[in-house]
Chain A
């Protein structure tokens, strides 16, 4: 069974960079797409970015200028960096593995990490 675990600081100062890592166990990071999704307190889900084992990436247009996503296949990990954070970036951040679907869109999230609450505050 694939398991994902987020790690990183729970508190980030405004204007600094949020950094999170997702460690994948129970399966290889190869052959799938991997995403970061966030959920502000009391609000809905928001897709942030994805990466695949080849390093192909995409991110939400409104966040693109601040997002860096990377993969380390030797460690079975992928990471998120979000720069110039504000209070609006306070959220639970989930890492997730995409599922395989018809046509290889991989447009759904089959496995999720437990989530990491990141608070932006001085």
Chain B
């Protein structure tokens, strides 16, 4: 099972919106609505930002939203802030044997 495909980097200016894509196949992202997204600052622990495709855990800003179209899941950050600069990873359920696979990660730069 190959890793999910994410862009290596994206960038945006403060106040703008950016979208990070996560492309899988009809056997993972396209088949289930069980994509999660994690934010990780350098040297820090990953933090859950989105689960089940579009649900936000308590305490996560509503500037973060998740969606899916076909085999591609997306994380959108609106009203970009300097503190959003981090690495972002997507993760999808595959099946009961493989369980989950991660994307390669996307580095977000706030210009």
Binding site for B on A (CB under 8 A): 44-47, 50, 58, 60-61, 94, 99, 101-102, 105, 107-110, 112-115
Contact = CB atoms under 8 A, between A and B. Distances in A.
A113 B46 CA distance: 9
Chain A, interface SS category = loop
Interface string B26-47: 0000001010101000000111
Contacts of A108: 34, 36, 48, 51-52, 91
B93 to A, nearest CB: 4
Contact of A58 (B89, B99, B101, B102): B99
Nearest to B37: A108
B105 interface: yes
Interface of B: 1, 3, 32, 34, 36, 38, 45-48, 51-52, 57, 89, 91-93, 96-105
A110 B57 contact: yes
B55 to A, nearest CB: 8
A50 B100 CA distance: 11
Nearest to A45: B102
Contact of A105 (B34, B89, B97): B34
Nearest to A99: B51
Given A61-B97, A102-B52, A112-B46, A107 B105 contact: no
Contacts of A50: 99
